[in-house]
Amino acid sequence: MSKNDNNCGRIERILKVHNMQQTLAQFEEHREIVKIKASKLAKKHPRCLADGNELLRFHGTTVECSLGMNGSSSLCTSDKCSVCRILRHGFSTKKEINGGVGVFTTSTSGRAFESVEVYDDYPFLRKALIVCRVIAGRVHRPLENIHEMAGQAGFDSLAGKVGVYSNIEELYLLNPRALLPCFVVICKL
Ligand SMILES: [Zn+2]
């Protein structure tokens, strides 16, 4: 059984993420790699050259522990608690689903919450949202077969659904280092 509500219901709390120096360095290093790659292409992508095409994106996931409650900032070690795992070890293209294509992000919080399934078997599991700074780099779109495209060289991310006004509703980041968590939004049970 799964509770398939489309949104958060009520927000329990919002936490600011304090990234380690090393995580920040890796993120900036990744930006530089994307910029260098872009500078070697015949077709110029001004945003890639400027800042690696940085965007603010949402990643829907789940949390199991009481992170942030009573001012506690210690991360738990439960393998069901995706928020703590991501904050501890970073994103993983393997764990963050989609058949290993990439880390799934959305342009709206609603779509991010919709993408998360919470199963009744784990009574303390609830939806959470990680607001991330993302180096989107060169975006491949439109998308026909994501599994074929993932193997193609030269792109840093893949657009899933593209909305009206061509904003990218769904974006898969091919490299987990392209994401830097900034805030965590935790929903009430
Ligand atoms: Zn936890």
Per-residue model confidence as pLDDT tens digits over 118-134: 877 888 899 999 999 99
Q: What is the mean pLDDT of residues 86-112?
A: 84
| CATH number, domain containing residue 53 | 3.90.228.10
Task: Place 1 in a pLDDT band, splitting at 50, 70 and 90.
Answer: very low
pLDDT at 6: 60
Q: pLDDT per residue over 137-175, tens digit each?
A: 999 876 555 565 555 567 899 888 777 666 789 999 999
Measured in angstroms, how far is the CA atom of residue 109 from the centroid of ligand 1?
21
Whether residue 95 has pLDDT greater than 70: no
pLDDT of residue 5: 53
pLDDT band at 45 (very low <50, low <70, confident <90, very high): confident
Measured in Å, residue 78 CA sits from the centre of ligand 1 at 6
Q: Per residue in 2-12, pLDDT tens? A: 444 567 878 98
User: Which range marks the domain in which residue 86 is found?
Assistant: 2-187
Number of domains comprising the chain: 1
pLDDT score of 89 more than 60: yes
| SS3 annotation, the chain | CEECCCCCCCEEEEEECCCCHHHHHHHHHHHHHHHHHHHCCCCCCHHHHHHCCEEEEEEEEEECCCCCHHHCCCCCCCCCCHHHHHHHHCCCCCCCCHHHCCEEEECCHHHHHHCCCEECCCCCCEEEEEEEEEECCCEECCCCCHHHHHCCCCCCEEECCECHHHCECEEEECCHHHEEEEEEEEECC
Ligand 1 centroid to Cα of residue 186, in Å, is 11
Distance from Cα 11 to the centre of ligand 1, integer Å: 17
CA of 103 to the centre of ligand 1 (A): 20
Higher pLDDT, 145 or 20: 20
173 C-alpha vs ligand 1 centroid, how far in Å?
24
Is the per-residue pLDDT at 84 higher than 50?
Answer: yes
The mean of the pLDDT values for the chain is 86
